[in-house]
Amino acid sequence: QLQLQESGSGLVKPSQTLSLTCAVSGGSISSGDSSWNWIRQPPGKGLEWIGYIYHSGTTYYNPSLKSRVTMSVDKSKNQFSLKLSSVIAADTAIYYCARARFDGYYFYGTDVWGQGTTVTVSS
Amino acid sequence: DIVLTQSPDSLAVSLGERATINCKSSQSVLYRSNNKNYLAWYQQKPGQPPKLLIYWASTREAGVPDRFSGSGSGTDFTLTISSLQAEDVAVYYCQQYYRSPQTFGQGTKVELK
């Protein structure tokens, strides 16, 4: 079955760039009915959707983070990545990668999630 | 952005009793061309990622117990746990997919009374 696993820097200094990768196993990142998402959760708080990328490389970012976010996909490695620049303490969170299903009109359910990776922004 | 407001923020329910969580959207999430509401419900237990329970407002994800049900349309939605079990203690979130950016409700914490 499809599984996702995040990896990357757990401690990032303020003003630097956070970099995370999500490895996809048990399925292909080139699946046409899926988008590949990043979602974060600050400690003790709710969920914030960061954005998604398709296997084609098409992206959509949350406007609240758009100026600092870059997502990319590597089909040869079956993985996708997140970069968040100019980080501040408020970017400290658990970062999840996840797959959302598409029904031809809209996405409708995020059914596969990674376990999440904690990123702390601190000097 | 579409704002989702959940109520209550927390509730305590006895084992075997019903739990009801509401989610109100600032805009309709009903796509009239296919008559589907693009709203999902998730369960999150401590230390775990969210788990998809319900999509299209009322369709149960495969493997989810039938004590979980979703209802509503347009702007008002409800997640019902018909007979609370100990393993249902968690935080529950609604999420809309109708308009980007996708947004979540603030969460509702369900505890045992």
In the predicted structure, residue A89 carries a pLDDT above the cut 90: yes
Strand partners, A39: A49, A96
Distance from CA of A44 to the nearest CA of B (A): 10
Looking at residue A107, its pLDDT comes to: 85
Q: CA–CA separation, A90 vs B29, rounded Å? A: 30
B102 to chain A: which residues are within 8 Å by CB?
Answer: 49, 107
Distance of CA A112 to the CA centre of its chain: 12
In terms of Cα–Cα distance, which of B32, B20, B36 is closest to B70? B20
8 Å CB contact of B101 and A107 = no
Distance from CA of A116 to the nearest CA of B (A): 7
8 Å CB contact of A46 and B56 = no
In the predicted structure, residue A70 carries a pLDDT above the cut 90: yes
Per-residue pLDDT band for A105 (boundaries 50, 70, 90) equals confident
Per-residue pLDDT band for A28 (boundaries 50, 70, 90) equals very high
Distance from CA of B72 to the nearest CA of A (A): 16
Q: CA–CA separation, A121 vs B21, rounded Å? A: 34
What is the pLDDT tens value at each position of chain B, 113 positions in all? 999 999 999 999 999 999 999 999 999 999 999 999 999 999 999 999 999 999 999 999 999 999 999 999 999 999 999 999 999 999 999 999 999 999 999 999 999 99
CB proximity A33 to B under 8 Å: no
Looking at residue B94, its pLDDT comes to: 98
